[in-house]
Amino acid sequence: MPPKRYPPNDPREWLNRAKSNLARAKGAISIPEVYLEDLCFDAQQAAEKATKALLISLRVRFPRTHDLTELVTLVEQAGQAVPQVIKRAGSLTPYAVVARYPGVAAPVTQPEYAEAVAIAEAVVQWVEEQLSQAP
């Protein structure tokens, strides 16, 4: 059953969407026709949407960007301490655009996919913890 829907300016909706992308990134690995690049795109989207959920919670305006380094920097500038593993989210940024198109980047390897999912999981979990502590 899908999660409860919230208004688009509610961080819970952004977190729900992040969890949806993460579930796809993890769950579709068993489908032989699915490219790892596409699953890494979902991992990147999970981290991006989770980070944007936190920015909304912190009342920080953010640009329309897929650049996770830029978004995580905005979180830090808002006074939120960011663990090192979350700062690694910037490595997912190329999956937002470049890796989605044929011939632009090398095919994603299984270890690269596993790392992308691990980083995305860490970001989603960390953001969920931060939101649960928000007033």
The CATH number that applies at residue 32 is: 1.20.120.330
Q: What is the pLDDT of residue 63?
A: 94
What pLDDT is recorded for position 102?
84
Per-residue confidence of the chain (135 residues) as pLDDT tens digits? Answer: 778 999 999 999 999 999 999 999 998 788 888 899 999 999 999 999 999 999 999 999 999 999 999 999 999 999 999 999 999 999 999 999 887 788 788 899 999 999 999 999 999 999 999 999 976
Could you tell me if residue 45 is inside a domain?
yes
pLDDT at 84: 96
Give the domain extent around 29: 11-133
Structural domains of the chain, count = 1
Instruction: Say whether 80 sits in a helix, a strand or coil.
Output: coil
Structural domain contains residue 2: no
pLDDT of residue 103: 78
Please give the pLDDT value at position 134: 72
The answer to whether residue 6 sits within a structural domain is no
Spatial separation of the C-alpha atoms in residues 59 and 52, rounded to whole Å: 10
Assigned domain for 5 exists: no
pTM: 0.94
Give the tokens for residue 61. Answer: 């305006």
CA-to-CA distance for 19 and 16, rounded, in angstroms? 5
Burial class (CB within 10 angstroms; exposed 0-12, middle 13-18, buried 19+) of 7? exposed
**Rounded CA separation 130/119 (Å):** 16
Is the distance from CB of 130 to CB of 15 less than 8 angstroms?
no
| Distance separating alpha carbons of residues 72 and 94, to the nearest angstrom | 15
Other C-beta atoms closer than 10 Å to the C-beta of 132 total 7
